[in-house]
Structure 1
Amino acid sequence: MMHCPELELIENFYDAVSSKSLLEHFLQAHDWPDNRYAFAGRQFVLPRLQTWHADAGVRYSYSNNLLHTRPWTEPLLQIRADVEQRLDCRFNSVLVNYYRNGDDFVGWHADDEPELADSPAIASLSFGAARPLLFRHKISGETGGLVLPRGSLLLMKPAFQSHWLHSVPRDGRITGQRINLTFRRVGRPTA
Structure 2
Amino acid sequence: MPLTPLPLPGADLAFDARWLPADEADALLALLRGTIPWEVHRIRLFGREHPAPRLSCWIGDPQASYRYSGTRFEPRPWPDALQPLRMRLERELGIGFNSVLANLYRGGSDAMGWHSDDERELGETPVIASLSLGATRRFVLKHRTDADRRLALELPHGSLLVMAGQTQRHYRHALPRTARTVGERLNLTFRHVEAVRLRAARRTG
Please, which of 91, 95, 115 is the counterpart of residue 97 of structure 2?
A: 91
Q: Which runs of 5+ in 2 are unaligned?
A: 1-5
Please, which of 135, 151, 155 is the counterpart of residue 148 of structure 1?
A: 155
Please, which of 103, 111, 114 is the counterpart of residue 108 of structure 1?
A: 114
Q: Is contact 1:3-1:145 (8 Å) kept?
A: no
Change in Cα spacing, 1:189 to 1:73, as seen in structure 2 (3 Å) is farther
Structure 1 letter corresponding to 2:42: Y
Q: Is contact 2:141-2:174 (8 Å) kept?
A: yes
Please, which of 170, 186, 191 is the counterpart of residue 179 of structure 1?
A: 186
Find out whether 1:20 has 2:43 as its counterpart.
Answer: no
Q: What's the CA shift for 1:54? A: 1.3
Q: Is contact 1:125-1:181 (8 Å) kept?
A: yes
Write out per-residue CA displacement over residues 74-130 of structure 1, whole angstroms, 9 at most, x where no aligned residue: 112221112111212111110000011111100000000121101101100010011
Find out whether 1:123 has 2:129 as its counterpart.
Answer: yes
Q: More deviation in 4-13 or 162-171?
A: 4-13
Counterparts of 2:89 and 2:188 in 1: how far apart (Å)? 11
Write out per-residue CA displacement over residues 17-73 of structure 1, whole angstroms, 9 at most, x where no aligned residue: 11111111122222212x153869954211100000111212111222212321111
Change in Cα spacing, 1:38 to 1:86, as seen in structure 2 (3 Å) is closer
Counterparts of 1:13 and 1:73 in 2: how far apart (Å)? 20
SS of alignment partner, residue 162 of structure 1? helix
Q: Which runs of 5+ in 1 are unaligned?
A: none
Structure 2 letter corresponding to 1:185: H
Find out whether 1:37 has 2:42 as its counterpart.
Answer: yes
Change in Cα spacing, 1:118 to 1:174, as seen in structure 2 (3 Å) is farther
Give the superposed CA RMSD: 2.0
| Fraction of identical pairs, as percent | 39
Counterparts of 1:156 and 1:56 in 2: how far apart (Å)? 25
Structure 2 letter corresponding to 1:148: L
Change in Cα spacing, 1:68 to 1:109, as seen in structure 2 (3 Å) is same
Going by fraction, where is helix more abundant, 1 or 2?
A: 2
Aligned residues, how many? 189
Q: What's the CA shift for 1:148? A: 0.9
Q: More deviation in 67-76 or 92-101?
A: 67-76
Structure 2 letter corresponding to 1:163: H
